[in-house]
Copies of this chain bind each other. A is one copy, B any other.
Amino acid sequence: MRRLFALLILALIAPLAHSADRPPNLVVIFCDDLGYGDLGCYGNPVIRTPHLDRMAAEGLRFTDFYAAAAVCTPSRAALLTGRYAIRSGLSFVLFPTSMGGLPQSEVTIATALKGVGYHTAHVGKWHLGIHPGQRPTDHGFVSSFGVPYSNDMDSTPASWKLAASATPPVDGYNIPLLRDGVELERPVDQRSLTKRYTDEARRVITTAKDKPFFLYFAHNFPHVPVFASPDFAGKSRRGIYGDAVEEIDWSVGQVIATLREVGVAENTLVVFTSDNGPWLIMGDQGGSAGPLKDGKGCTWEGGMRVPGIAWWPGRIAPGITSEPASTLDLLPTFLGLAKAPLPSDRELDGIDLAPLLFSGKALPERPFFYYRGTRVAAVRVGDFKAHFFTQTGYGGAKPEEHNPPVLHHLGRDPSERHNIAAAHPDIVEKLTKLRDEHQAAMKPGTPQHTR
């Protein structure tokens, strides 16, 4: 009887010991051009996102989470390296004709986690270079399944013009679907992308279960041209844009369901976010920044503040946080959880979010720099944000320089309507100094977009 009891105790303790020893699985679900106001849990009045709403209700929803750039390539470089994109020379968007890409000298989350025994998988969009040394498998990903750049690229001028329409031509964008660099289909039928990515994500989760895994799942949508599978097309009130977001929501539900099926949900951190704000000039095929000002491409809040949800059942308490955080923080957070050493020979721009995520502690006050290209357009500390130059969204608008800078209080004035610089010369001085020091210390990487 005593022996049976001891065995019983062992049987109860063993899985706990196992999961306590084993580093957690880490998943990033990264959307393309999804705006701050595009999800139900962020106040969208039309688009139905029950799986993301549930993920938010069970996890930690950030009100002040940022992409570290206002456009695609820099935002992805920043997330994967934990550094402002200027450091890797990726301040601008790459095109299929670009020779540049993420330099081999950069250390990505995948490289670091692979180094401590993780299975590392890339699913979805890449957009950090297509040449040797720049591709997912050159940057720490053991497996890669997806599309090398934005889904509107490699198009004829005629089909590019139709990218913003509700019915873009299915074969109008000559983008390839690659597995580990090998072309599977070109042009890929974009209506199938979200489903195929989801299948691949499920495969990664189910087959990698003997190792901890890092899954970087970067959707191509809701970037224009917006497509959805037949199961979702025509189903939302919000047109094809809503269809695509609702399909992504379904996909998130599938990822979470798979984690539960495989029995690893309690040992997995999932972070959901977006690469930048909504592409407003695309009309009904662009998303919504909700109450925030402007969208993709600019440094008003609507350009860079995005949905941010962190989910880990049993570890992250359900709640809402207004602590500012960004995709720059994911590398230090993930490496900390994996007990992987931080790269010590370079500047990192994020911090480990563990105290906030797991203990609800306030983060140290720190500046966040809003880059537009290679210049710092704005800096935020606490609720104050100083803008040194402003430039509307994406397109032909010229920058308007502000000296002294304009100042907004993002708490009292979340839509950035009232310049309060005159009333706060001390804050203006403090933020300007932070900008100056940051720029003076910055060592930009070799520009990649000019190659």
Contacts and interface: CB of A to CB of B under 8 A. Distances in A.
A46 B322 contact: yes
Interface in A413-441: 413-415, 417-418
Contacts of A169: none
Nearest to A239: B412
Nearest to A288: B291
Nearest to A412: B239
A65 to B, nearest CB: 10
B414 A284 contact: no
A37 B48 contact: no
A305 B45 CA distance: 10
B42 A239 contact: no
Nearest to A39: B43
Most buried by B among A45, A410, A411: A45
Contact of A320 (B40, B241, B283, B418): B40
Contacts of A63: 45-46
A57 to B, nearest CB: 6
A443 interface: no
A191 interface: no
A383 interface: yes
Contacts of A320: 40, 48, 50, 53
A64 interface: yes
B64 A45 contact: yes
A290 interface: yes
Interface string A5-46: 000000000000000000000000000000011001111111
A238 interface: yes
B291 A43 contact: yes
Contact of A411 (B37, B40, B46, B322): B46
Contacts of A42: 43
A292 interface: yes
A59 to B, nearest CB: 14
B46 A37 contact: no
Contacts of A288: 291, 414-415
17 contacts: A37-B43, A40-B320, A43-B290, A43-B291, A44-B291, A45-B63, A46-B410, A48-B320, A236-B411, A237-B411, A237-B412, A238-B414, A242-B411, A242-B412, A284-B413, A288-B291, A291-B291
